[in-house]
Chain A
Amino acid sequence: MAIFSDAELQEISELQKRYPSPAAYLLPVLWRLQDKRGWLDDEAMEEAAAVCQVPKSHVRGVVSFYTMFFEKPMGKFHVQVCTNVSCMLCGGEELLADMKQRLGVQNMERTPDGMFSIEEVECMGACGGAPMMAINETFFEKISTQEANEVIDQVVANGNIPTPKFVQQMPELSEAANK
């Protein structure tokens, strides 16, 4: 125990008061733990159970329900490619196949150096920017296979996620800007 510092525990217990029961703060606590450790191991679940005053079995049940909580270590850079309808119509399946080949890993696996992992995801709400890929929290939209490879090149070279080229705009405004 004691993944959280006293200051963090203090902050958490303040935020927890915004809900009528401590258990309701479970998802936010799990997010904090996963942000710290990269995944949710046994110790993390124990800590979450203590902070939210629920049995550990309950925490385990919740963790396994949500796809974004990892029960095993993932890559430092988690690559997600959407293959749902809109993306599929614009080449999402090909993009996924190419990324798998490039990184040499299968779905939900990570590279031996722990740098990359890959996940075929369901619709990410970027259908208008299809095909799309996300690395951790950053969305890359309207991205070709070649551009996706360049993004990976940059991650490898610089150790961080580059700024996406495609910037979401209000359609009306972007049209006006085009004139």
Chain B
Amino acid sequence: MADTPKLVLPDIPGLRNIDTYIANGGYKDAIGKAFSMAPAAVIDEVKKSGLRGRGGAAFPTGLKWSFMPKGKEKKKYLLINGDESEPGSFKDRQIFEFNPHQMIEGILIASYAMQIDHAYIYIRGEYAHWVKMVEKAVAEAYSRGFIGSRMKEMFKPSGEGVEFSVEITVHKGAGAYIVGEETSMMNSLEGQRGYPRFKPPFPANSGLWGCPTTINNIETMTSVPPILKMGGEAYSKIGDPKHPGTLLFGVSGHVNKPGVYELPTGTPLLDIINIHAGGVPNGKKIKLVIPGGSSMPPLRGDQLEGVKMDAENLKAAGSAIGTGGIMVMDEDTDIIHVLTRIAKFYWHESCGQCTPCREGTGWLLKLLKRFDAGEAMESDIDLLHDVAFNIEGRTICALGEAAAWPVRFTVERFREEFQKRVKPGLILESPNRVHSLRKGGLEPVQVHVPVVERV
């Protein structure tokens, strides 16, 4: 474990302090190198690094940046996505708290590469505390001249100052998962309801206030300075070649040491769970793992051997990397109950613009509630699958898939769990409860689920 590089959250105590950050080469090494290059060369360096977005879709970052028009006719904006509302994700928060200046330096470099006029950091309202931390960091960076008009004198790579400056503003959200979707976030920042926009036009052509806009995740931004420091080539050799670098894996649920672990991409999932996160309490078996936040397809406990945590390998294993939020459920977990809760979340968060999503999420919830209460019929299993399947690909934004995937893949991979629930007079061998606060006194009990016969 010792030699795995920590690039996003290095082991430096007090790094959130601007002086400590500067003492460790901050606001100098990486950005100095960037400013000594032409903007297009910075984009090339990021392309060479193979960096892919950390916000969920793992889209190549350099490529995304290259979509921005070069001209100066309109203002250009950078929107940094700190909405972090996907259940199971709690990594960006660590950056706000422990390494905000590296995030800011990354934003400055990205802004230079795309010749951005103004960058907005959008942070979810629930993170009020962390919004204040980031606001403080931004204010400090302003007061030192690292952001804004004084940048020109502060950064002098080759004697004379750089001809570039950018403004950064922190914006606080007010509670809505859907605002994490990129075009919804643009509407929200503009002071509207957070409805996703139809694409095209794509943000690089018409984003915030109709101007060219790029949107990137917090962790993506924070990964940029190390790339400039070590060079794109060297970065591309860390972890999996098709999805290089380090990722912040947030591990939660039934593990002994939940938390955020920074590891190279391609780290085996079972190593993360068993070695880094300390394994499952009481040596219980794993029943199910959701590897990338609640909208990603769940994997069965017996499917985990050899699964590696990067975009391509996870895809091959039948799931997706998402935000790297790993949720572990032990053998006593009532999967139907958990899935019902997941369905409730997406039903609650659907913005209601598209019929398949608005109606479909309601149906998924209604059907799952029947299973949860022991009131479902055998035919409901296929109905559930059908409803999920018919949402996918028929909506404006990807919340449709986010709602459908967990349901569809749970039905496909845990069909027996559903079948158990439709047998009359069923007794579950595992307790019909989901928590593992089983420190003492909570003996596994057999629970009788009354199955109602319906005609």
Contact = CB atoms under 8 A, between A and B. Distances in A.
Nearest to B86: A123
Contact of B88 (A123, A139, A170): A123
A101 B379 CA distance: 38
A88 B338 contact: yes
B414 interface: no
A96 to B, nearest CB: 12
A172 B345 contact: no
Contact of B434 (A89, A123, A176): A89
Contacts of A69: 174-175
Interface string B67-92: 00000000100000000111111101
Given A30-B174, A128-B260, A20 B94 contact: no
B54 to A, nearest CB: 15
A85 B88 contact: yes
Nearest to B94: A170
A171 interface: yes
Interface in B164-185: 167, 169, 171-177
A18 B169 contact: yes
B32 interface: no
Interface stretch (B224-232, B308-316, B325-333): B325-333
Contacts of B85: 122-123, 125
A21 B175 contact: no
A125 B191 CA distance: 24
Contacts of B337: 88
A23 interface: yes
Nearest to B131: A137
Interface stretch (A5-13, A60-68, A104-112, A147-155): A60-68
B209 interface: yes
Interface in A115-169: 121-130, 134, 137-139, 144, 168
B100 interface: no
Nearest to B174: A66
Interface string B238-277: 0000000000001111100111111000000000000000
B250 A68 contact: no
Interface residues of B, number: 69
B189 interface: yes
B191 A127 contact: no
A25 B124 contact: no
A23 B88 CA distance: 33
A62 B435 contact: no
Nearest to A26: B191
Contacts of A171: 257, 259-261
A149 B384 CA distance: 40
Interface stretch (B6-14, B40-48, B423-431): B6-14
Given A68-B174, A91-B435, A127-B252, A139 B259 contact: no
Given A21-B191, A137-B129, A127 B172 contact: no
B60 interface: no
Interface of B: 6, 9, 11, 13, 75, 84-90, 92-94, 97-98, 118, 124-129, 167, 169, 171-177, 188-194, 209, 250-254, 257-262, 290, 294, 325, 327, 329, 333, 337-338, 341-342, 345, 348-349, 434-437
29 contacts: A18-B167, A21-B190, A21-B209, A27-B174, A28-B172, A66-B173, A66-B174, A66-B194, A84-B345, A85-B87, A85-B88, A88-B338, A88-B434, A89-B253, A89-B329, A89-B338, A90-B254, A122-B177, A122-B348, A125-B84, A127-B325, A127-B327, A128-B90, A128-B252, A130-B253, A137-B128, A170-B9, A172-B11, A174-B259
